[in-house]
Amino acid sequence: MHWYVDVVKKYAVFSGRARRTEYWVFSLFNVAISIVLFVVGRAIDFTLLQVFYALAMLLPALAVSVRRLHDDGRSGLWLLIGMVPLVGDIVLLFFFCSDSQPRDNKYGSVPKYIGAHI
């Protein structure tokens, strides 16, 4: 749960790096909350509930996606490849599943080892 909260705390931070765990746990919680809000919205006849949540989480989702690309050494502009139907989504999925660069890069230190006692 702290991965989700950490991403929300970095609401519009596009600099730095994000580990795979941070990205995927945020995505999992984001989808789960969206589904729950959709069901609750339908039950209380207020279907915009999930839409408001999606709009509120748009910026953090973009920010963590850019930081995830930075972790692999890529520019955040690679998100634009997602506009290419099917192929772009597959390429982005590959990038988001890739492991971090093992060394510091121009976007920051390896987040896997920050705070670790070696």
Predicted confidence at residue 118, as pLDDT, reads 43
Report if residue 105 sits inside a domain.
Answer: no
**Cα gap 98→103, rounded to integer Å:** 14
Residue 117 placed within a domain: no
pLDDT of residue 47: 85
Half-sphere exposure of 34 (CA within 13 A, CB side): 14
Note down the domain range covering 9. 2-97
Residue 24 belongs to some domain of the structure: yes
Determine, yes or no, domain membership for 116: no
What residues have CB less than 8 Å from 18, skipping those under 6 apart?
7, 64, 67, 68, 70, 71, 111
- The reported pLDDT for the residue numbered 114 is 64
Domain membership flag for residue 36: yes
Q: How many domains is the chain partitioned into structurally?
A: 1
DSSP per position, 82-101: GGSTTHHHHHHHHHHHSPPP
Compare 33 and 115 and report the one with higher pLDDT: 33
CA pair distance 96, 38, nearest whole angstrom: 26
18-41 average pLDDT score? 95
Beta bridge partners of residue 108, listed in sequence order: 105
Q: Is 107 within the bounds of a domain?
A: no
Distances (CA, A) of 58 to 7, 47, 100, 110: 12, 18, 24, 25
Q: Does pLDDT of 116 surpass 60?
A: no
Domain membership of residue 118 (yes or no) is: no
Average pLDDT over the chain reads: 91
Nearest to 67 by CA among 112, 25, 108, 114: 108
58 in any annotated domain:
yes
pLDDT digits (tens, 9 = 90+) for 59-91: 999 999 999 999 989 999 999 999 999 999 999
